[in-house]
Chains A and B, each alone.
Chain A
Amino acid sequence: AQKITQTQPGMFVQEKEAVTLDCTYDTSDQSYGLFWYKQPSSGEMIFLIYQGSYDEQNATEGRYSLNFQKARKSANLVISASQLGDSAMYFCAMRPHTGRRALTFGSGTRLQVQP
């Protein structure tokens, strides 16, 4: 079984500052993928970034980077230079690379960017 834990229900950050959203996971799979999604108030889940369990380098996509620490089973999302449009719910998710296709999601973190 897989489990995702996001311990921060809500976070505040000042515009232009960096923020880290925490994600820890538990799995017995040897090969898996970790994903972060953003969900604005409109409801759509927007894919942000992916990290494979065997990737040696941390993933980066523009202002998003994933701080992957495999031994600690953590996959924190770092958003640099926060913008007002970054205010949203953020979900960490994972799935094994083989077998079951469903994503397992965490409970999410609500980020509010303040001017």
Chain B
Amino acid sequence: DVKVTQSSRYLVKRTGEKVFLECVQDMDHENMFWYRQDPGLGLRLIYFSYDVKMKEKGDIPEGYSVSREKKERFSLILESASTNQTSMYLCASSHPSKGQETQYFGPGTRLLVL
């Protein structure tokens, strides 16, 4: 079974703090993704990565950065957390298959910024 794990299920941070969200997958997938999920907006792509040390901006990258130093690990960084970054964050991974690939999701991290 594919397993995608996220470092925390719930996180409470203060405005201005630097926040790290970690994601690890165990299926040697090349592709990894970070989304945020908000009610009524579905999932929106923040960043994705096709390979180690490669990253591309998604639809809403402002206020976020990412790091992929190892194939299995993809980190999302909030440089200076703000209240409008309170959300559910979902990590996913997939093996490239010309658009037909299934994405496998972690359980999510619910972040509250006070």
Q: Do A and B interact with each other, yes or no? A: no
Interface residue ranges, B against A (CB under 8 Å): none
Interface residue ranges, A against B (CB under 8 Å): none
